[in-house]
């Protein structure tokens, strides 16, 4: 049984870049990805800014070397997962026992929506190949087939904590000797169903979002994919590890279908549980990648839990969703890549557009990008609908 699980590499595609290096360049240049909708066709196009991946499906299909009728969710997933694998330098994937644990919340819904537009106007005109990728697990299977992954394939869908939970499950697979390597993370594309659902909840901002700012009025949706490559101790000599996944926990505050509990019970339990597994105290954490959606409820809830656990000495913290938007099922994977890279390169990411201190909290997020920081332990938070709260702790060694 392998006790330690390492991050051997990572890959990201998001509204701020087509790969990890472009993402980092956007952070350095303070260039968030929120724009008017270009690729998603919605009546809200000029109302709600979104952080779209800056490519249409034809361009993404060419990058992924997949048919153009593949769902956008799967295309994003394959691009990021391939980048993650390539970054490890491990070579031919068929030489290893490899699993894929991938999260998403929309599956191939982008294609289903296109089908129903055509079908409703002409029942003979709908093309059924547009709906066969609808189910969330189909996205994972398409990516596994394209990459030649056979030893274990799982899909996780627990709303916005999905990809963080994928890393937890992947770690357990390695520790129990089911596989030696797991590509773990998540993917989601923008769909009209998602946009309209969040609009119904009245938590979308009509301006670029401002996480942890007193004037915040909601979130911006984003899309993308992010994956890390988890490896066992047995392969440590074959990689240059970015970090170690030293602790994790999932908790549920059982408060509301979509809202977090006002006192942040689930948030606190997830963070505390992750620290306990890692054998750390709160003061050991050097940076927190906040869940930080920019909604009134979420930021207060997370902030109260952080104050309860870390006061009076708070680590540096920021919400990278101020750049990427809220990528839903992908967010925990994208932010796990950012957190792992933060340890490798001493990076602290900026919280864009923060200007006004929240009256409920005694701390404020970091607003400038920096490198060369002496980081030893980093926490990444992902808190989802239904009170499903997950926290990951990454350590330098």
Q: How many CA atoms are closer than 13 Å to the CA of 180, on its beta-carbon side? A: 11
Q: 318 - beta bridge partners? A: 289
Can you tell me the distance from the alpha carbon of 291 to that of 267, in angstroms, rounded to the nearest whole number? 10
377 in Cβ contact with 286 (< 8 Å) = yes
**Alpha-carbon torsion, ordered 107, 111, 117, 123, to 10 deg:** -100
**Alpha-carbon torsion, ordered 155, 158, 161, 163, to 10 deg:** 10
How many Cβ atoms are within 10 Å of 341's Cβ, its own excluded? Answer: 24
Catalytic-labelled residue, pool 134, 136, 209, 291:
291
Non-local (6+) Cβ contacts of 63 within 8 A are 18, 55, 75, 79
The helix (run of H) or strand (run of E) holding residue 100 is: strand 98-103
Can you tell me the distance from the alpha carbon of 381 to that of 370, in angstroms, rounded to the nearest whole number? 20
DSSP state, residue 35: B
* Catalytic annotation present for 160: yes
SS3 breakdown of the chain: % helix, strand, coil, rounded to 5? 40, 20, 40
Catalytic-labelled residue, pool 134, 136, 209, 326:
326
283 in Cβ contact with 260 (< 8 Å) = no
Catalytic-labelled residue, pool 136, 160, 209, 389:
160
Residues tagged active-site: 160, 291, 326
């Amino acid at each position: 049984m392998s006790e330690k699980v390492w991050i051997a590499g990572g890959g990201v595609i998001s509204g701020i870049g087509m790969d990890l290096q472009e993402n980092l360049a956007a952070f350095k240049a303070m260039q968030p990805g929120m724009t008017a909708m270009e690729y998603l066709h919605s009546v809200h196009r000029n109302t709600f800014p979104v952080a779209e991946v800056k490519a249409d499906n034809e361009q993404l299909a060419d990058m992924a070397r997949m048919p153009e009728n593949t769902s956008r969710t799967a295309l994003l997933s394959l691009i990021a997962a391939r980048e993650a694998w390539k970054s490890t330098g491990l070579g031919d994937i068929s030489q290893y026992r490899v699993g894929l644990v991938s999260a998403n919340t929309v599956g191939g819904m982008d294609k289903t929506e296109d089908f129903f537009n055509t079908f409703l106007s002409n029942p003979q005109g709908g093309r059924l190949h547009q709906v066969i990728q609808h189910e969330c697990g189909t996205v994972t299977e398409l990516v596994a087939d394209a990459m030649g992954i056979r030893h274990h394939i799982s899909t996780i869908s627990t709303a916005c904590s999905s990809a963080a939970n994928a890393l937890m499950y992947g770690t357990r697979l390695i520790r129990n000797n089911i596989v030696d390597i797991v590509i773990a993370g998540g993917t989601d594309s923008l769909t009209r169903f998602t946009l309209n659902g969040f609009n119904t909840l009245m938590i979308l901002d009509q301006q670029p979002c401002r996480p942890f700012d007193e004037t915040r009025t909601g979130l911006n949706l984003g899309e993308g994919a992010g994956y890390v490559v988890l490896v066992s101790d047995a392969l440590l000599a074959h990689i240059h590890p970015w970090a170690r996944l030293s602790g994790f926990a999932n908790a549920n505050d059982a408060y509301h279908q979509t809202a977090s509990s006002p006192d942040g019970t689930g948030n606190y339990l997830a963070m505390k549980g992750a620290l306990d597994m890692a054998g750390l105290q709160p003061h050991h954490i050097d940076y927190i990648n906040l869940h930080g959606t920019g909604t009134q409820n979420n930021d207060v809830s997370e902030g109260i839990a952080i104050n309860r656990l870390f006061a009076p000495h708070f680590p540096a913290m920021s919400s990278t969703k101020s750049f990427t938007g809220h990528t839903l099922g992908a967010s925990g994977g994208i932010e796990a890549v950012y957190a792992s890279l933060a340890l490798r390169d001493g990076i602290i990411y900026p919280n864009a557009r923060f200007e006004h201190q929240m009256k409920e909290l005694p701390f404020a997020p970091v607003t400038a990008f920096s490198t060369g920081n002496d980081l030893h332990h980093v926490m990444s938070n992902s808190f989802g609908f239904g009170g499903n709260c997950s926290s990951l702790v990454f350590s330098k060694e």
